Amino acid sequence: MEPSQKTEFCLRGIGCAPGVARGKAFVFLQRDVELPCYKLDDSLIDSEIARFDAAVEKTREQLNLLSAEMRARANEPEAEIFDAHLLVLDDPAVIGETEKAIKSTRINAEHCFNSVTARYIEFFSGLEDAYLKERAADIRDVAQRVLRNLLGKTQQHEGPDRFAERIIVAEELTPSETLAFEKSSVSALLTDAGNHTSHAAIMARSLGIPAVVGLRIATLRIAQDDDVLVDGEKGLVYINPSERTLDSYARISLRRSRLEIRIAEENVKPDLTADGTPFKIEGNISGKEDMEKFRQAHIDDVGLFRSEGIFLRTDRFPPEEMQYEEYRQVVEMIPPRNSIIIRTLDIGGDKHISGSLLPPEDNPFMGFRAIRFCLEFKDIFKDQLRAILRTSVNGNVKILLPMISSIAEVVAAKEVIEDAKSELRSRNVPFDEDIQIGSMIEVPAAVAIAEELADEVDFFSIGTNDLTQYMLAVDRGNEKISHLYDSYHPSVIRAIARTIRAAKSAEIPCTVCGELAGDPCFAPLLLGLGASALSMNPASAPRIRYILRHTTMQDVNKLAHAVIHDANPRSIQERLTIFINSILPVEM
Ligand code: PEP
Ligand code: MG
């Protein structure tokens, strides 16, 4: 591509998924559909009903197409969701009542259809049964599609080609939107909101899409089709890049790819430090679509399977069977001698499912999230636990409980696990009776009682993403305070050290599975602090291995000792940066 004729300007955000990309901007605005409301002339009633029927028919064709596409990709669970959406369209009540309302009120189709579906959504949301409640989400989804077709708008998530090779610019992206963009093979993602541990950022990293978040004003400064160059490592976004910028990026890309080649060449060597001490790298995944990258990275064990994937993709609480299929496929890809840690549902925070079980909250990260939700909706929790337990005959599966803040939560969760086991026993379904249960350590309260918690579980896994946000009271997704989200803060590092010490004295393993595990600056420190394993996005594994192979235990222990006695975040940052620069030039 030629350099841009327009004047270059640069925006600086938080680089959260490396890679350089150039392309045309697609400014993606997620506004609710605005509904017109107007009176119809008597002579227009029939044609209004015909317009409504045509929109319903078009929606039916789209859903049939989506369902067929999912089946062609052997994705039966998602195909079934679109089938369920088709049933909503076949419901004579919803369609018939809308037509009747158009006739009797003489108001346009959008308004009438919206009123009818709103009533049904309210009705289903108010039901006790969790699954019936979730039908509200189906109706809402279908209603949005029909309304868009009535208004002549296309679904923003569909028509993958519209996004292919484009640089997506959005105010904020949810994890499910990020997933949808991956299917469209976009070139890069830019958002006004977020920081490097928001879930959309983590997902972009694992999908290998260059991404910059926390840009604050990207949607205001970047126009549709602008020429944009993205540096996902440094967090820089050049709009209308000049010849000079393009030349300099050509050189940077060359240097980076030479280093990548060196790292890739060494990736198959044994995981031993330079003085021969073994270290352990594990992978974080969100579903079977991550397994290709997992294998390419030569990782053996899954240290964290974020099980929310299927819930977010389907935007509902899927039944046991559907979950079992999803987990089983992943478990069977891991040889039985290796382990796979499946974390139970960590919904809430920035991970939403539409529907009334998770209403909007003022402080979602401090609210009805993860284990708190599961202990309230035990049936949903048990569906998942039975699905996980059943996969334990297909491999070495372990259960990990998220967002634990008290012993009582672990005890209550273990009771639900026992109930799920009894239910399987009464169905004569086999599972691993001794399945290991671990606790995420990601809330300061858990750190403070780590010694006692260690007596209740078989292993710990430190979630540094949440631990940092809760330790420092800094919302991990809020770009206004992202400068305060500082993992170099001694409180975070000392909390990690304390947790590892507690695990060691209880003789249980302690993995680190937050983003710090895959951060070149932090990985040597975590090894020096004594973490049993570092579990990371597979894409980060080759680089972290390279670093740990080029250091000695003596050096990382010395580093950990110095850092743990340092109370100044900036001096800790300097120590870690000097250390890593002696092995690998991270900033280029
Ligand atoms: C964490 O909090 O560090 C973690 C691994 O979990 P998640 O990012 O999914 O909240
Ligand atoms: Mg977490």
92-121 pLDDT tens trace: 888 999 999 999 999 999 889 988 988 888
- The Cα-based distances of 41 to 46, 47, 49, 147, 231 in angstroms read 10, 11, 13, 21, 56
588 has a pLDDT exceeding 80 = no
Pick the range with the lowest mean pLDDT from 206-215, 334-343, 414-423.
Answer: 206-215
Q: Report the pLDDT averaged over residues 301-306.
A: 98
Q: What's residue 77's pLDDT?
A: 66
- Res. 576: pLDDT tops 70: yes
- The pLDDT value recorded for residue 29 is 65
Burial of 242 (0-12, 13-18, 19+ CB in 10 A): middle
Q: What is the mean pLDDT of residues 335-347?
A: 96
Q: How many helices (H) and strands (E) does the chain have?
A: 23, 16
Show the tokens assigned to 290. 């991550």
Under 8 Å between Cβ of 410 and 457:
yes
- DSSP states of 496-560: HHHHHHHHHHTT--EEE-SGGGG-TTTHHHHHHHT-SEEEE-GGGHHHHHHHHHTS-HHHHHHHH
* Angstrom distance (rounded) from CA 497 to CA 565: 11
Q: What CA–CA distance (Å, rounded) separates 320 from 325?
A: 9
Atom of ligand 1 nearest to the CA of 462: 3
Distance of CA 195 to the CA centre of its chain: 13
Please give the residue that has the higher pLDDT: either 313 or 366.
Answer: 366
Asked whether the predicted pLDDT for residue 585 surpasses 80, the reply is no
Q: What is the pLDDT of residue 38?
A: 85
3-class SS at 109?
helix
pLDDT at 83 exceeding the cut of 90: no
Lowest mean pLDDT, pick from 75-79, 472-476, 507-511: 75-79
What pLDDT, on a 0 to 100 scale, did the predictor assign at position 327?
Answer: 96
Strand partners of residue 166: 24
Q: In ligand 1, which atom is closest to the CA atom of 197?
A: 8
Give yes or no for residue 499 having a pLDDT over 80: yes
How far apart are alpha carbons 287 and 147 in whole angstroms? 32
The amino acid present at 562, given as its one-letter code, is A
Phi, psi of 278 (to 5 degrees): -70, 145
When the pLDDT of each residue in the chain is averaged and rounded to a whole number, the result is 89
For ligand 1, mutation pick of 513, 522, 526, 537 (most atoms within 8 Å of CB): 513
443-453 burial string, b = 16+ CB within 10 Å, else e? Answer: bbebbebbeeb
Q: Report the separation in Å between the CA atom of 378 and the middle of ligand 1, taken as the mean of its atom positions.
A: 22
| pLDDT band per the 50, 70, 90 thresholds, residue 157 | very low
Q: What is the pLDDT of residue 34?
A: 63
Catalytic residue among 16, 510, 513, 521: 513
Residue 21 has phi, psi (to 5 degrees) of -140, 150
Q: Can you tell me which atom of ligand 1 is nearest the CA of 402?
A: 6
What tokens appear for 469 in the block?
Answer: 């946000």
Residue nearest ligand 1's atom 8 by CA: 465
Catalytic residue among 85, 111, 196, 199: 199
Report the C-alpha gap between 313 and 102 in whole angstroms: 34
pLDDT over 60 (residue 30): no
Quote the pLDDT of residue 154: 47
Q: What is the pLDDT of residue 159?
A: 47
Question: What mean pLDDT do residues 357-366 have?
Answer: 86
Q: Return the pLDDT at 1.
A: 57
Protein residue with least CA distance to atom 4, ligand 1: 463
Task: Identify the weakest region by mean pLDDT among 11-15, 219-223, 325-329, 371-375.
Answer: 219-223
Does the pLDDT value for residue 33 go beyond 70? Answer: no
**Angle 45-72/130-151 helices, nearest 10 degrees?**
120
The pLDDT score that the predictor gives to residue 531 is: 98
81 compared with 21, residue with greater pLDDT: 21
- Asked whether the predicted pLDDT for residue 89 surpasses 70, the reply is yes
- Encode pLDDT of 246-262 as tens digits: 999 999 888 888 888 98
Residues with CB under 6 A from ligand 1: 202, 304, 306, 346, 442, 463-466, 513-514
What are the φ and ψ backbone dihedral angles of 531, each rounded to 5 degrees? -60, 140
pLDDT of residue 481: 87
Helices (H), 241-377: 243-266, 291-296, 308-314, 320-331, 371-376
Looking at residue 73, its pLDDT comes to 61
The pLDDT of residue 281 is above 70: yes
For ligand 1, atom 6, name the residue with the nearest CA.
463
If you average pLDDT over residues 432-448, what whole number do you get? 98
Confidence of residue 350 (pLDDT cuts 50, 70, 90): confident
Mean pLDDT of 229-236: 93
Quickly state the pLDDT bin for 155 (edges 50, 70, 90).
Answer: very low
CA angle (341, 280, 398) in 5-degree steps: 15
Given a cut of 70, is residue 153 above it in pLDDT?
no
| Residue 75 pLDDT level (bands cut at 50, 70, 90) | low
Check residue 156 and give its pLDDT.
45
513 has catalytic annotation: yes
Question: What is the rounded average pLDDT of the residues 572-581?
Answer: 94
Phi-psi region of 529 (alpha: psi -120 to 50; beta: other; left: phi over 0): alpha
**Strand pairing category for 236-239 and 281-285:** unpaired
What's the gap in Å between 277 CA and the centre of ligand 1? 28
pLDDT top residue among 131 and 462: 462
Ligand 1 centroid, distance to 83 Cα (angstroms)? 33
**What percentage of residues in the chain have a pLDDT greater than 70?**
92
Q: Ligand 2 centre and the CA of 302: distance in Å?
A: 16
Instruction: Give yes or no for residue 495 having a pLDDT over 80.
Output: yes
- Encode pLDDT of 522-562 as tens digits: 999 999 999 999 999 998 999 999 999 999 999 999 999 99
Q: Per residue, what are the HEC states of 158-179?
A: CCHHHCCCEEEEECCCCHHHHH
Residue 131 Cα to ligand 1 midpoint, Å, equals 27
